[in-house]
Amino acid sequence: MAAFKMEKPLVVPPRGEHTATVFLLHGLGEMPQDIDGIYKYCRDKKNSNLQHIKWILPYAPLRPITKDHGMMKRGWFDVIVSHKDRREDGPGLLETVRYIDELIEDECASGIPEHRIVLAGHSQGAVVSVLAGLTGNKTRDSGQDGWNLAGVMSVSGYIPIKKVFAKSVAPHAREIPVFWGHGKDDRVIYVDAC
């Protein structure tokens, strides 16, 4: 993400032999530490079978958020207006997807195959996880056919830039397990907008 300074992700090493990785992306205005309860619960639960997982929690860059009058917040993409209006920062989303691609490529280069990687997120992080995890080469410069991940998790997210998404879904996306959770009383991203 050339336009914004990216910090090194928070990396939580596995407690056992490293055989899988979960990328966990936070929401607008949050930091990795705001959602670290997820990995702590999974890792520290008595008799957990998840000791082999390395957790990578990237930091979204600080950027002006239009709907908040240009206030600088951590965000994976700009929020132009309310979610109901549906105007979206397509270029910002795609720039973030390329950044997530780089992180996944680095993890694969370290020896973890993509089918042992889960891409998960909350709110804006969920939106990015869905786009990066399920789309193919039309959203990328590298010409890849999308990732063949172990899974994608969306908590309080939505399908972004729907026309681009529909044209770009990777052929094997149907084979990727997806967890989709959303509160029916969510007042930020209404469930009917998902």
- Whether 190 maps to a domain, the answer reads no
pLDDT on residue 184:
67
Parallel/antiparallel/unpaired status of strands 178-181 and 151-155: parallel
pLDDT on residue 161:
81
CA proximity to 122, closest of 166, 154, 167, 89? 154
- Whether 5 maps to a domain, the answer reads no
Specify the CATH number for the domain of residue 131: 3.40.50.1820
Report residue 182: phi and psi, to 5°. Answer: -155, 135
pLDDT tens, per residue, the chain with 194 residues: 556 788 999 999 999 999 999 999 999 999 999 998 888 888 877 667 899 999 999 999 999 999 899 999 999 999 987 555 567 898 999 899 999 999 999 999 999 999 999 999 999 999 999 999 998 654 454 445 778 999 999 998 888 887 878 888 888 888 999 998 866 665 556 556 55
Residue type, 97: V
For residues 62 and 4, the answer to whether their CB atoms sit within 8 Å is yes
Residue 66: give the domain boundaries. Answer: 10-183
* CA 164/CA 159 separation, integer angstroms: 10
- Whether 43 maps to a domain, the answer reads yes
- DSSP H helix total and E strand total for the chain: 4, 8
Q: How many residues does the chain have?
A: 194
Task: Record the pTM.
Answer: 0.88
Label residue 133 left, alpha or beta by phi (over 0 means left) and psi (-120 to 50 means alpha): alpha
- Whether 119 maps to a domain, the answer reads yes
pLDDT on residue 4:
76
pLDDT on residue 36:
87
* CA 18/CA 124 separation, integer angstroms: 28
* CA 29/CA 74 separation, integer angstroms: 5
* CA 153/CA 157 separation, integer angstroms: 9
- Whether 111 maps to a domain, the answer reads yes
- Whether 159 maps to a domain, the answer reads yes
- Whether 97 maps to a domain, the answer reads yes
- Whether 75 maps to a domain, the answer reads yes
Q: How many domains does the chain have?
A: 1
pLDDT on residue 143:
44
